[in-house]
Amino acid sequence: MSPHLRKKVVVVGHGMVGHRFVTAAIERGLTETHDIVVLGEEPRPAYDRVALTSFFEVGGEALSFLPTGVYEDPRVTLRTSTSVIEIDPAAQTVMLADGEEMAYDELVLATGAAPFVPPVPGSELGNVFVYRTIEDLEAIREAAKTAKVGAVIGGGLLGLEAANALHQLGVETHVVELAPRLMAVQVDDAGGNTLKRHIEKLGLTVHTGVMTESISPDAVVEISVVDEVSTGSTTGGTVLDGKVSALKFKDVEEPLPIDMIVFSAGIRPRDALARAAGLDLAERGGVLVDEQCRSSDEHIWAVGECAAPGGKMYGLVAPGYDMAEVVADALLGGAGTFAGADMSTKLKLLGVDVASFGDAHGTTDECLELTYSDAVTGVYKKLVISEDGTRLLGGVLVGDASAYGLLRPMVASGMELPENPEELILPQTTGGGGGPSSMALQLPLEAQICSCNNVTRGDIEAAVDNGCESAAEVTKETKAGSTCGSCKVQVKKIVEDYFTAQGKTVDTSLCEHFAMTRAELFDVVLIHGYKTFDQIIEAHGTGRGCDLCKPAVASILASQLNGHVLAKENRKLQDTNDAYLANLQKNGSYSVVPRIAGGEVTPEGLIVIGEVARDFGLYTKITGGQRIDMFGARMEDLPAIWKRLVDAGFESGHAYGKSLRTVKSCVGSTWCRYGVQDSVGLAIMLETRYRGLRSPHKLKGGVSGCARECAEARGKDFGVIATEKGWNLYVGGNGGAIPAHAQLLAGDLTTEELVRYLDRFLMYYVRTADRLQRTSTWIDSLDGGLDRVREVVVDDVLGLGTELEAAMVHHTETYFDEWKATLEDPEKLRRFVSFVNAPDIPDPNISFGSARGQIVPEVGEEPAAIGPVSLGASIPVGMPTLEESR
Amino acid sequence: MSADQLRAGQAVTYISVCRLDDIDPETGVAALVRGEAVAVFRTLDDRVFALSNYDPYGHASVLARGIVGTRGEVPFVASPLLKQPFSLESGQCLDDPSVSVATYEVDVIEGEVRIGARR
């Protein structure tokens, strides 16, 4: 197709649903024939509005769906800070705020919704906010610096999110709800009351069944002229001005003094553009669309909260995603339809689990209710069951929503209830038989497990059949659990049960000698204070170990005691690299890497490395970690090579260990005209702090001095990127076969905070990861993933912070250069010989050729022998003088 | 006397290579025996085994540097290159019985480890 025949799709709005439309269009191949232009009004690309509350913790970048602001598909263009002011359906053009006119072949409206602010007198005052965008949250954070008391008007789902935000910001928080209970849409009275008790326990005040009559200002200012288009309410010659100071409730005498207000009284579809263009709207707002999400104009489509399929607007992200997929399909000629949505919800509000699914209010004729309530622990659960007691219709869960992952698909699939349905909501300890999750396998294959991405149990099992070997891989493959995360536990359970059903055991034993995971073994060693492998295997294992458990134990002992890896009792545990403190290469020779912290090296240092390499005939290559690797060293030459290096001030680079390798850095603010922080200085400090730390897998770090990220820090297990205000800390990145981008753990940190979080993060990883599990897969394997890591590392919910920090301090204080220590100990040097009985004869099996002016290993098909066998020219040959006996 | 003659079993002599104490329990050392590299291992119960040091998978003379352990009751060494396990008793690869490395007669006399003929 020639370029001018390509068509153009214009997308108005770059929120979650607009973004989903673009990714669906790219995945389905729409960009093969269409260019896509996305016009976003907000100054930044789409971000995760569902997780908006975490903005204060993680910052805007972590929420972003498109941090670079550019789609990888070059046929998609995103323009942020761009408002559309008019649509001309006849001409098929849109007019932008700056006067630019843009033609389209197809127009997709994804303008979302706007918060509804009821016309309460005083709502135009200062310190009145809504809760929708990152800019809203930034303004709220600013106001909270001086405000002492705040009120959230609206006790629904979003209102409680907003209350949580105020509470987190240290503002004394009141929640004001017109209805007689919180979350009136989702839960019933008993559920609402349970929720209210939880929230009040946290120190928030809840006012239900009260109507806000007016908001009082902290000042009333006389003005002479009242602008007639002012939206403010005017009383005589005065206008309300200044900031809020009190809330007046209807039928309540005493006003409530407050310093700030957040309105969260519902949302309204943003349909003004469509209205002005003459498109049909739904009775209660929203662009009226058919089941393919096409509006009354053939070439205009609407998706998400601005759309009203069949006249009904959906204020959740999952139906919006469905609509986005439907439109992408329709534009490719598909016949997919949007068939309404499951409005089930599960979320954590102020730390309280709340879930609502199916017919939560029991509106079905003659339905039955089954409730469980525990006022002491604050758990309330209700099931709505069909009249004949065979099917689950819906339910409400407050305080413990762990059964949601099972119950919601039960409603959706219409499967028959078990004989004792009460077991579905009784606490697991009394429910017998392993609780509700053990019933996962009984869900029909077509039961939808992930409602955000429409993934069924069948899809999950198919992903396992296609080679996925863990829940994390299934999530990557199917997207199940990747949006709101509420089904993650269920996905994991289905994957594990399916493995079991296939006879695959998900065996987490370290090896045949230890029936426990590495993390369990770590704890056992720590608790008992074991010092040697022999103690450990005698008490907790069988046999004499192997190449799996011995290095694992060696690593655990090193992490806890930080002794010398070649100490007599440790030596036999070390993998060959650790056993000779060098990296074994294919022909039996070794490579040598001195530490060059942060990649910074003096000319004198470079000269020494060059001289050593030259004198020992070594091949040299620059590594990816900004240091120099010298290859082709014979084992018996290692001490002499290291003697030279240590004398020149170098120390072990631990390139041979499952341990910290390097902290790579860009040149930073010292030299770079873009740099905002001293990345080299920080990298050297971090590499020096964590050098020698033994870990489940190798560890790499990176520090970039500005957002250009020249150190590729996000490709490392821990990456630090400088900001104007401090440092952003990213974790869980790696290159290799399955590359992973590090994710933001915490933003704008001081150096002290950064080191504290890194100490905790690394020690937490060292203690709990499996053998050879890198940080990225370790994070994926934790229940709660990165959020869990943040809870433990940043929020310190386990109270482990001090202990983890102390363990790292112990590590730094007991660090020594293991090559220097080896050179000082004849007992350790004893083993660096080619042959125990002929230490002067080099191993004839090691020989080299040459390429591009340097040596390369030669590998023979048969063992070489000394004597009548021809040897490589570079190998000194001589018959051993051996004492022969009978 | 050539290595070929020795392999043919024409002169079976034991060669003393080191003291038993020179080998840490559950480790190996490489010895040069009649021009051939031999890996000599000592288990925790002081049994001594001798295998060819040459790893037939990795084509390098490295087995003495592998980790020594047990699989079931069988003492084995894992190649330090690609971890293939070889029985210390038979030299057979425990994951692929069609591959094995040569074993040698070995004994310990008065604390001296001595290597004899290739089996």
Residue A410 and residue A355 share a domain: yes
Nearest to A807 by CA among A566, A606, A569, A522: A522
Q: Is residue A458 part of a domain?
A: no
Do residues A285 and A301 make contact, with C-beta atoms less than 8 angstroms apart? Answer: no
Q: Are residues A670 and A807 in the same domain?
A: yes
Show which of residues 185-244 on chain A sit within 8 Å of chain B, judged by CB atoms.
none
Task: Nearest by CB to A587, from B60, B68, B85: name it.
Answer: B60
User: Most A CBs within 10 Å: which of B59, B81, B100, B101, as the mutation test of the A interface?
Assistant: B59
Asked whether residue A799 falls in the same domain as residue A740, the answer is yes
Chain A residues 657-686 with a CB less than 8 Å from chain B: none
Query: Nearest by CB to B78, which of A513, A546, A831?
Result: A546
The answer to whether the beta carbons of residues B60 and A859 sit under 8 Å apart is yes
Same domain for A258 and A381, yes or no, is no
**Can you name the residues that pair with A222 across neighbouring β-strands?**
A238
pLDDT of residue A119: 87
Please tell me which residue of chain A has the smallest CA distance to B85.
Answer: A547
pTM, full prediction: 0.58
Give the residue from A393, A426, A444 where a domain finishes: A444
Are A149 and A86 part of one and the same domain?
Answer: no
Would you say residue A378 lies in a domain?
yes
pLDDT at A435 over 70: no
Q: Are strands A238-249 and B92-93 parallel, antiparallel or unpaired?
A: unpaired
Interface check for B57 against chain A (CB to CB < 8 A): the answer is no
Q: What is the pLDDT of residues A693-722, one digit of tens each?
A: 999 999 999 999 998 999 999 999 999 999
Hey, are the CB atoms on B2 and A867 less than 8 Å from each other?
yes
- Residue A89 pLDDT more than 90? yes
Instruction: Find residues 861-880 of chain A whose CB sits inside 8 Å of chain B.
Output: 861, 863-869, 879-880
Q: Which domain, by its residues, includes A194? A: 128-226+234-265
A756, A788, A814 - which closes a domain: A814
Closest by CA position to A649, among listed A614, A602, A687: A602
Backbone dihedral region of A154: left (phi > 0), alpha (psi from -120 to 50 degrees) or beta?
left
User: Chain B neighbours among A 436-495 (CB < 8 Å)?
Assistant: none
| Cβ-Cβ contacts under 8 Å, A886 against chain B | 13-14
CATH no. for residue A420? Answer: 3.30.390.30
Cα A666 to Cα A669, A678, A686, distances in angstroms: 9, 9, 14
ipTM of the complex: 0.91
CATH code of residue A749: 3.30.413.10
Asked if residue A772 is part of any domain, the answer here is yes
| A165 and A311 together in one domain | no
Number of domains in chain A: 4
**Backbone φ, ψ for residue A52 (5° rounding):** -55, -35
Question: Is A461 domain-assigned?
Answer: no
- Same domain, residue pair A101 and A133: no
Residue A613: inside a domain: no
Find residues 87-106 of chain B whose CB sits inside 8 Å of chain A. Answer: none
Same domain, A101 and A11: yes
CB B15 within 8 A of CB B115: yes
- Classify A520 as helix, strand or coil: helix
Q: Which chain A residue lies closest to B57 (C-alpha atoms)?
A: A861
Give the nearest partner residue to B32 out of A579, A863, A880, using CB atoms. Answer: A880
Residue A417 falls within a domain, yes or no? yes
Percentage of chain A modeled with pLDDT above 70:
92
If you average pLDDT over every residue of chain A, what do you get? 87
Over range A227-247, report the average pLDDT: 59
Mutation pick from B62, B88, B95, B104 vs chain A, by most beta carbons of A within 10 Å, is B62
pLDDT for position A363: 85
Ordered alpha helix ranges (H), A423-517? 428-431, 457-465, 471-478, 488-501
pLDDT at residue A405 is higher than 70: yes
Tell me if A739 sits within 8 A of A715, measured CB to CB.
yes
* CB-nearest partner of A547 from B16, B40, B69: B69
The residues pairing with A398 across neighbouring beta strands, listed in sequence order, are A354, A380
Interface of A with B in 569-588 (CB under 8 A): 571-576, 579-580, 584, 586-588
Max avg pLDDT among A373-382, A717-726, A731-740: A717-726
In one letter, which amino acid is A846? I
Q: Is the pLDDT of residue A235 over 50?
A: no
A81 and A181 co-located in one domain = no
pLDDT for residue A880 is more than 60: no
Lowest pLDDT segment from A222-231, A270-279, A301-310, A836-845: A222-231
**Residue A205 or residue A783, greater confidence:** A205
Structural domains in chain B plus CATH codes: 3-118 (2.102.10.10)
Q: Are A808 and A664 within one domain?
A: yes
Q: Residue A279's domain is classified under what CATH number?
A: 3.50.50.60
B84 shares contact with chain A (CB less than 8 Å):
no
Mean pLDDT of A315-328: 91
Higher pLDDT, A77 or A884: A77
Residue A71 lies in a domain: yes
Asked whether residue A299 falls in the same domain as residue A359, the answer is no
The answer as to whether A614 is a domain residue is: no
Q: Domain end: A444, A461, A480, which one?
A: A444
Question: A586 to chain B: which residues are within 8 Å by CB?
Answer: 58-60, 81
The answer to whether residues A696 and A726 belong to one domain is yes
Name which of B65, B86, B118 to mutate to probe chain A: the one with the most chain A Cβ atoms within 10 A of its Cβ.
B65
Q: Which residues of A touch B85 (CB under 8 A)?
A: 546-547
Distance from the Cα of B53 to chain A's closest Cα (Å) equals 9
Mean pLDDT across A837-852 = 91
